Amino acid sequence: MDNQLQRELIIGAALGRMVVLRGGSMDTVVTETYLERLKDVDPSLVERACAELGDQRREDYTTIVPPCPDILEIVERLEAEQVAPAVALLPPDPNEPTYRCHYCLDESSGWRPFKCPEVVCGRKREHGPHSYVARCQCWFLRNAATIRLARSRAEAKHEFVTQGMRDVEAFDDGRYPWATKL
């Protein structure tokens, strides 16, 4: 079987399972559009992102088929999680500079590694210990204005509000749990 076809089968099946778990079904046109958009993404990460979205309780205002940016946002987070432990294990630099952010040590993507259950991840289902990443508070401080603007534009055009946009709101309200955890 050729590689591209195999990738499409993996992603197509993952999308289908996710949508069934969210109480709907996937039609061919939507599947093809998503496959086109996700064609350069690692299929195993798409699978994991879809499994996560399939397990999430669906809010009333969200669509049965999650918007592609939501899938890509989780893929980006999973990619960061794959990299994060290696970064955390680097030995301390003897000439360590002073960081502007002492939580993430100025990690440019703003992702910080955590271990659950030491710092609980917030998943509702019972689950074993695992590592994960969450955005640092400095990332919100740097990007909140831009993201708030993107959100108000999305809402005005009845487009999708992504998890990142909802996180900014949680951060503003002091409900974002990873803001200052060390």
Segment holding 145, helix H or strand E: helix 137-156
Q: Which two structure tokens, joined as six digits, stand for 21? A: 């778990």
CB of 108 to Zn ion, least distance (A): 10
CB proximity list for 28: less than 8 A, separation 6 or greater: none
116 lines the binding site for Zn ion (CB under 5 A) = yes
Burial of 96 (0-12, 13-18, 19+ CB in 10 A): exposed
Q: How far apart are CA 4 and CA 31, in angstroms?
A: 15
| Residue type at 98 in one-letter notation | T
Residue among 121, 150, 154, 170 that touches Zn ion (CB under 5 A)? 121
x-or-dash pattern for Zn ion, window 30-49, by CB under 5 A?
Answer: --------------------
CB of 150 to Zn ion, least distance (A): 21
Q: Using the rule CB under 5 A, give the single segment among 19-27, 46-54, 61-69, 108-116 that binds Zn ion.
A: 108-116
Cis geometry, peptide bond prior to residue 92 (ω within 30 degrees of 0): no
103 lines the binding site for Zn ion (CB under 5 A) = yes
Q: Using the rule CB under 5 A, give the single segment among 9-17, 32-40, 112-120, 159-167 that binds Zn ion.
A: 112-120
Q: Using the rule CB under 5 A, give the single segment among 20-28, 72-80, 101-109, 162-170 that binds Zn ion.
A: 101-109
Instruction: Answer whether 54's CB lies under 8 Å from 44's CB.
Output: no
Segment holding 103, helix H or strand E: none
Locus of tokens 């910080």: 112
Residues 47-86 that bind Zn ion (CB under 5 A): none
Residue among 136, 161, 165, 168 that touches Zn ion (CB under 5 A)? 136
CB of 52 to Zn ion, least distance (A): 12
Please report, as ranges, the residues that interact with Zn ion according to CB under 5 A. 101, 103-104, 116, 121, 123, 136, 138
